[in-house]
């Protein structure tokens, strides 16, 4: 059977936001490699003096696009930058570009977001909520629009413990319209002073502003062919275009990276809680399929005045992974991805009690950090460990709400989407997380972490040097114990 997804995207014009981000680039790569979409307009701003076009041209040397450019050397010519910024009025898009988008675009994929848990509220609101409202307004003027996917998060309703594929406006103590109005009428400082009052039970500005964005879609999408994709914590690729590819140190990956380097030895984690990680390539495939399904169902949704479909995407209850399994798998394969630059043997202890984490961290992190910094000073080098540990502890504080919390999810719509696909599409756009081999996934992800985050040589010789490096730490620890006895 032919690929229905490939047929759907043939000669389509796509507008994608967040194209410079982790998920956005993977979506772009897969669309270019696996479909015959005619053009992808990517909203991207100039950064540090580098133009939007030059930023896209830089992808030619990005390992993520290596396989694509081998088989389709001219593929990136289908990517056209649209200068814009989610923090700007009207998204910072010029009148000329807006006219272009209104006349040509058939598919919108809204990935842009700030995922910083400690982002000031005014900034998080502008990027995550107001920009979503502006995207809906722009989409309503797109005469050829067939499908619009808004990328939210599985944690947009984290103030409750079981999350179905529906809207939860009652979780908010203040509705989106009122918050946006307050933002418009206040300067940044005055507005940010109201953060805790406005957020209610939400743990951070990220989840709060994502929840507001969902309310905006519920209220303002009207007859638009819109759906919401709620992924868990997005981590390294499983298979495509290369296994283990990742470019950021967020969430669970920060724990693995810190442990692998040897600086993170204690973390606030509940071992028995589920870890809601999802591979980024599976997420990209789901988004691509969601667009087609939304287009197919749009007429029926309009007839029934049905709300936008929501897709929760987390590990399935038949194939879950707990935090304990997540950490144990890392420990199991630490020698497969041993880092030459590790400063101590990688291990990780956990506690779900936050005050206990604080106390243990003094002995595992702070005291050794001061000792190492003292040695560095005596050698005439710049001390760095205490500064690093302050950042690590701040990151762990932000992460602890999620690493110690328990959530369950309904994933009926995701399962229905998967079952609706043809055999060809299931093969080419895989996202059935029921079948994911977590053990093999982490084996590859740790190698990817070594190569793409630690920037170490992928050769077997380098890995062997890393193994010997770790074994020396073990030998030193054994000798110290013998001397003490």
pLDDT 10s digits, 385-425: 899 899 889 889 989 999 999 999 999 999 999 999 999 99
> Looking at residue 336, what DSSP letter applies?
T
Lowest mean pLDDT among 62-66, 186-190, 379-383: 379-383
Residue 258 · residue 264 · CB < 8 Å: yes
Residue 27 · residue 288 · CB < 8 Å: yes
149 Cβ contact partners less than 8 Å away, ≥ 6 residues apart: 108, 109, 110, 226, 227, 228, 229, 287, 290, 291, 294
The pLDDT tens digits for 63-110 are: 999 999 999 999 999 999 999 999 998 999 999 999 999 999 999 999
d(CA 293, CA 390): 46
- The CATH 3.40.50.720 portion of the chain extends over 4-248+276-320+406-444
Distances (CA, A) of 187 to 13, 72, 91, 96: 38, 49, 19, 30
d(CA 405, CA 378): 43
Quote the pLDDT of residue 49. 78
Residue 481 pLDDT more than 50? no
d(CA 223, CA 140): 9
d(CA 57, CA 50): 11
58 Cβ contact partners less than 8 Å away, ≥ 6 residues apart: 50
Q: What's the chain's length in residues?
A: 485
Per mean pLDDT, which of 250-254, 288-292, 458-462 is the most reliable?
A: 288-292
Class in CATH terms, 4-248+276-320+406-444:
alpha beta
Residue 331 · residue 271 · CB < 8 Å: no
Strand partners, 360: none
d(CA 479, CA 424): 58
Q: Are strands 309-313 and 226-231 parallel, antiparallel or unpaired?
A: parallel
The torsion defined by the Cα of 459, 460, 463 and 465, in degrees rounded to 10, comes to -100
User: Percent of the chain scored above 90 by pLDDT?
Assistant: 73
* Ordered DSSP codes for 224-248: S-EEEEEE-EEES-SSSSSTT----
DSSP reduced 3-state for 384: coil
> Looking at residue 410, what DSSP letter applies?
-
214 Cβ contact partners less than 8 Å away, ≥ 6 residues apart: 150, 152, 156, 167, 168, 228
The pLDDT tens digits for 426-437 are: 999 999 999 999
382 Cβ contact partners less than 8 Å away, ≥ 6 residues apart: 376
């Amino acid at each position: 059977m032919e690929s229905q997804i490939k047929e759907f995207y043939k000669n389509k014009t796509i507008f994608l936001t967040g194209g410079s981000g982790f998920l956005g680039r993977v979506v772009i790569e897969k669309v270019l490699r696996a479909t015959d979409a005619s053009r992808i307009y990517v909203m991207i701003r100039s950064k540090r003096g580098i133009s939007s076009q030059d930023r896209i041209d830089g992808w030619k040397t990005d390992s993520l696009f290596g396989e694509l450019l081998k088989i389709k050397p001219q593929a990136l010519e289908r990517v056209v930058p649209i200068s814009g910024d989610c923090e700007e009025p009207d998204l910072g898009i010029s009148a000329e570009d807006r006219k272009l988008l209104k006349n040509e675009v058939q598919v919108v994929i809204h990935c842009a977001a700030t995922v910083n848990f400690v982002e000031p509220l005014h900034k998080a609101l502008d990027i995550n909520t107001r920009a979503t409202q502006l995207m809906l307004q722009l989409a309503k003027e797109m005469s050829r629009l067939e499908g619009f996917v808004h990328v939210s998060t599985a944690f947009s309703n984290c103030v409750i413990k079981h999350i179905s594929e529906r809207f939860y406006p009652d979780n908010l103590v203040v509705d989106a319209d009122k918050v946006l109005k307050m933002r418009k009428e206040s300067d940044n400082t005055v507005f940010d002073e109201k953060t805790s009052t406005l957020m209610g039970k939400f743990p951070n500005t990220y989840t709060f502003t994502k929840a507001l964005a969902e309310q905006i879609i519920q209220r303002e999408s009207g007859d638009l062919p819109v759906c919401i994709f709620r992924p868990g914590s997005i981590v390294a690729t499983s298979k495509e275009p290369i296994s283990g590819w990742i470019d950021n140190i967020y969430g669970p990956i920060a724990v693995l990276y810190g442990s692998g380097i040897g600086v993170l030895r204690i973390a606030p984690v509940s071992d028995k809680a589920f870890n809601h990680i999802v591979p980024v390539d599976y997420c990209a495939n789901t988004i691509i399929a969601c667009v087609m399904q939304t287009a197919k169902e749009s007429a029926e949704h309009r007839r029934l005045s049905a709300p936008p479909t929501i897709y929760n995407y987390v590990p399935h209850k038949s194939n879950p992974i707990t935090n304990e399994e997540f950490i144990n798998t890392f420990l199991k394969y630490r020698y497969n991805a041993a880092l030459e630059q590790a400063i101590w043997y990688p291990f990780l202890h956990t506690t779900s009690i936050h005050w206990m984490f604080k106390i243990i961290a003094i002995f595992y992190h702070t005291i050794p950090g001061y000792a190492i910094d003292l040695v560095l000073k005596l050698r005439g080098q710049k001390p760095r460990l205490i500064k690093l540990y302050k950042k690590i502890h701040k990151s762990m504080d932000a992460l602890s709400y999620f690493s110690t919390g328990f959530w369950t999810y309904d994933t009926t719509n995701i399962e229905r989407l998967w079952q609706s696909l043809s055999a060809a599409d299931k093969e080419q756009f895989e996202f059935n997380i029921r079948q994911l081999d977590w053990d093999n996934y982490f084996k590859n992800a740790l190698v990817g972490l070594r190569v793409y985050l630690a920037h170490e040589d992928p050769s077997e010789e380098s890995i062997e040097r890393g193994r010997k490096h770790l074994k020396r730490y073990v030998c030193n620890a054994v000798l110290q114990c013998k001397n003490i006895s």
